[in-house]
Structure 1
Amino acid sequence: MLRIPALCAVFALAPMASALELKASSVYQSGFALGTEIVAVQASSMRVIVSNSVEGLVDILRLDPSAGLQRIARHTLMGQDAGEITAVAFHPSEDIFAVCVRDSDGLKNGRVEFRSATDGTLLKRLEVGIWPDSLAFSPAGDFVVVANEGEGYVREGEGFRSGAGSISVIDLREGLAQAKQRLIAMPDLAGVAGTTQDEHKRLLERAIDGEELKIPFGTSAEHIEPEYVAFSPDGTRAYVSLQENNAIAVVDVLQGELHKVFGLGTVRHAADVLDDGRYEPNAELFALREPDALAVSADGRYLISADEGDSDPKIAKTKAGLPSGGGRTISVFDSASGELLGDTGSQLDDMAAKAGVYPDQRSPNKGSEPEGVVSFDAFGKRLAIASLERADALALIDLDQPAQPRVLHVVGVGEGAGAGNLAPEGLAHVEHQGRHFLVTGLEKSGNVALFELIK
């Protein structure tokens, strides 16, 4: 990243104050020090499910608008060496939840388990692809789509080998007992515009035999890592982020086929890239977007990505101009064509700094780090909310003009926000009797925070 004269004064481009505000409502304390990561809400019952990958369990909470979050059940699912819970989802109407479980051997297929939300009873188990990392029920509950990240690596000779990423489509139309899984293989992305290519010289940080190593990767199926699943409102399309590949896969759910993959290109905007104890966005960030979570607008027209980042460029003395990893943005795309409409530029970090939660120690490496995102309509506006993992904060974003998304408000998710000790990850929205609630799992604190959007 090149240091340049200030592109703008700090906050000069910050949007005007908004009448909308995210207000902290309550905090659920799990009793564990960490691990509360993925959350999902069943609107019909106002129940929340939260996974704890460290403890191998899920908690079922009641979201009471007047009393906050209260645990009503705890289900321990994983025994020693039985694998790891990586994601959880609630059926939209039935007393069923689904969990992704990766095998303890990172190169073996994982599974999806369907269980009773009331007592945790195992109802159905299906083998899926390698290292399942995210899943979602369709709006009608008749399909589940799973992102199989294939992230595990092992040494092989002087190099490394990884399992191939894939996408599973689980058909529930004939009932849970007759559920069927169809595995969609990933294509080689060489030459696909806007995706990560060999010339980008990317490295991933991965743990191998207890050692953190930088692993080179390319465009083959072995190096494609599906990350997160979001459905279109009508349930006919599923969008899957390919984070490290800087792409989104579009799945035809009814046919159980890959419809297309489109690349997300790069961002250029003002950024702070120095860890010096102050926020000064006087450099230009040039980076691949590399989104984690995705959301679809309520009308289905727009696809929204949280551009967290994951890879780093392999810098060599003879090479220059390689993009960084992570756009530090929320980006908006046309859901049909994949065309980029706009992004938030430096606004997430600008507003985090204004709120006093900007993590300057992360300036050289992905900034506030947007991870989760949801989108919904409220109070006559099209909105998105993003979780900022390293800023320990939530960002409220106005999407009424998709080509110019505006960050309206950033708020810390708890005491000490900005130090990176809370880490909001999973994020879910639910509307109840005209009120809008946001639930986020705080992975590094063991807590779950509840917010309400108020006007």
Structure 2
Amino acid sequence: MLRIPALCALFALAPLASALELKPLAVYRSGFSGGTEIVNVQASSMRVIVSNSAEGLVDILKLDPAGDLSRIARHALVEKGTGEITSAIFHPSDDLFAICVRDRDGLKNGRVEFRAAADGALLGSVEIGVWPDSLAFSPTGDFVVVANEGEGYVRDGDGFRSGEGSISLIDLRQGVASATHTLIQLPDLAGVAGTTQSEHKRLLERVIDGEEMKIPFGTSPEHIEPEYVTFSPDGAQAYVSLQENNAIAVVDVLQGKLAKVFGVGTVRHAADIEDDGAYAANGELFALREPDALSVSADGRYLLTADEGDTDPKIAKTKAGLPSGGGRTISVFAADSGELLGDTGGQLDQMAAKAGVYPDGRSPNKGSEPEGVVSFDAFGKRLAVATLERADALALIDLQQPAQPKVLQVVGAGEGAGSGDLAPEGLSHVEHEGRHFLVTGLEKSGNVALFELVE
């Protein structure tokens, strides 16, 4: 365990345009070389759940406000070769957590397991859709929504076949043992404004029978890939990113149905698009946003997207002038209408460069790569924090003017930030007695980093 002041020397900080600052507090080391991907904090107990997809287990940590992360339990839940834990989350108040597990057969249904936090005992299991990738509890814990990505591909004659993407809604109002499941199917997105269309000529990189292949991507349900789930503060809506489809699905939770799907469009901003050993934003990025994580502001008015990207950007180098994949931005939408209000433009990469962690080798392909995002109010301001997977860093963002979000700081997520060896992915925020903590899973290092937002 590393703690301040020794830890502070390991982090590179960008110059601040605000009195607010993300400060490193501690690093938890799992003992594994990687796989610490998804994290979630239960505010009532200050416990952190960390999934390790490679090892088939979850760790339960204690977050000590004094500046420590320590393991209090480890639960081995999925035997290697039988499936994969893709996400884990604490119930908002009860002494249990949920995981989603994808089957080893990429075309078979996955499941959600509800387990006791103390010993990992199975409390209930619900079969859901194909290849689940993310899940979330509603704020009261009455519902769980799962993004079933369905991204597994198999050969089918001269072509390929994939499971259909879908959304699972699990009703827990009668308790875990009596949970009921509704599978929400998604429509063909042909003609839906702002979404990925056939004329974009997208390609996906997928591994089939051990071989990396590039798969043509369309608009039909088998090509819809739900990625991440978040709820509105009142729990009435769930928002699900359809990353490769460049869209957001909105679920009416109480009605148990799809309310709408809206496209998130493209970005144009100055960017470094050349791998030449130095940061220089002298090119123009034209790209589909392709959002990964989502977050809703504390007042429920704004929906934020982390515009990571996934489809093959090499197609953009053709003379057709097609958009590349990944906006390299945090974008702000009106939560009720889906109207775009603003985005961070080239600020994330720019601030990463000032902090000395910009990954220039990724300049032709998604840059710093924003992956996770959380939004919250603190110290009288509306804020967000994002993980920058390829820059090995976190970004602090001021949302006081939603049409002009401002990146205040980029801070390295640990020793060696900027090398690509950390890969912060999952991100969780918790407020405790007026203090604000951020926890992130560093997928490539096997570590978990703890930060505090301070004035």
TM-score if structure 2 supplies the norm length?
Answer: 0.96
8 Å Cα contact 2:306-2:371 kept in structure 1: yes
8 Å Cα contact 1:306-1:373 kept in structure 2: yes
**Cα deviation code 1:33-65 (max 9, x no counterpart):** 000000001000000000000000000000001
| Residue segments in structure 1 that go unaligned for 5+ positions in a row | 1-13
In the other structure, the counterpart of 2:105 is: 105
8 Å Cα contact 2:40-2:427 kept in structure 1: yes
8 Å Cα contact 2:270-2:346 kept in structure 1: yes
Runs of 4+ in 1 over 3 A off after TM superposition: 313-319
In the other structure, the counterpart of 2:85 is: 85
In the other structure, the counterpart of 2:234 is: 234
Q: Which moved more, 1:307-316 or 1:280-289?
A: 307-316
In the other structure, the counterpart of 1:142 is: 142
Rounded Cα–Cα distance in structure 2 between residues aligned with 1:102 and 1:176 = 20
8 Å Cα contact 2:96-2:115 kept in structure 1: yes
8 Å Cα contact 1:202-1:314 kept in structure 2: no
Q: How does 1:2-401 map to 2 (within 5 A)?
A: 17-313=17-313, 315=315, 319-401=319-401
Q: Which moved more, 1:205-214 or 1:398-407?
A: 205-214
SS at match of 1:420: coil
TM-score if structure 1 supplies the norm length?
Answer: 0.96
What is the Cα deviation at residue 177 of structure 1?
A: 1.1
**Cα deviation code 1:169-188 (max 9, x no counterpart):** 00001111110010000100
Rounded Cα–Cα distance in structure 2 between residues aligned with 1:81 and 1:272 = 41
Rounded Cα–Cα distance in structure 1 between residues aligned with 2:352 and 2:409 = 9
Sort the Cα spacing of 1:59 and 1:318 in 2 relative to 1 into closer, same or farther, 3 A: closer
| Residue segments in structure 2 that go unaligned for 5+ positions in a row | 1-13
8 Å Cα contact 1:41-1:430 kept in structure 2: yes
Aligned AA (1:332): V
What is the Cα deviation at residue 198 of structure 1?
A: 0.2
Rounded Cα–Cα distance in structure 1 between residues aligned with 2:425 and 2:328 = 15
Rounded Cα–Cα distance in structure 1 between residues aligned with 2:313 and 2:177 = 47
In the other structure, the counterpart of 2:409 is: 409
In the other structure, the counterpart of 2:3 is: none
Rounded Cα–Cα distance in structure 1 between residues aligned with 2:233 and 2:313 = 37
SS at match of 1:348: helix
Sort the Cα spacing of 1:189 and 1:352 in 2 relative to 1 into closer, same or farther, 3 A: same
**Cα deviation code 1:221-274 (max 9, x no counterpart):** 000000000000000100000000000000001111000000000000000011
8 Å Cα contact 1:436-1:452 kept in structure 2: yes
State, as a whole percentage, how many aligned pairs show the same letter: 81
Aligned AA (2:410): V
SS at match of 1:351: helix
Rounded Cα–Cα distance in structure 2 between residues aligned with 1:141 and 1:297 = 19
Count of aligned pairs between the two proteins: 442
Sort the Cα spacing of 1:290 and 1:316 in 2 relative to 1 into closer, same or farther, 3 A: closer
Rounded Cα–Cα distance in structure 1 between residues aligned with 2:379 and 2:299 = 15
What is the Cα deviation at residue 107 of structure 1?
A: 0.3
SS at match of 1:315: helix
